[in-house]
Amino acid sequence: MRLIRGNLCVSCYNREREVVKGRNARGMIPTKLAKLDPRSICYSENGEVRIARTERTAGIGELVVATLRDAVHQVAFGWRAPRTGLRQLRLFG
pTM (two decimals): 0.67
Q: Is the dihedral of CA 10, 15, 17, 20 positive or negative?
A: negative
Q: What span, in angstroms and rounded, lies between the C-alpha atoms of 78 and 72?
A: 18
Distance from C-alpha of 74 to C-alpha of 60, rounded to nearest angstrom:
19
Q: Which of 68, 19, 14 is nearest to 2 (CA)?
A: 14
Residue-wise pLDDT tens digits, 39-90: 999 999 988 989 999 888 888 888 898 899 889 999 999 876 666 665 666 7
Determine the Cα–Cα distance for residues 78 and 42; give it in Å rounded to an integer.
6
- In 10 A of CB 69, how many CB atoms? 10
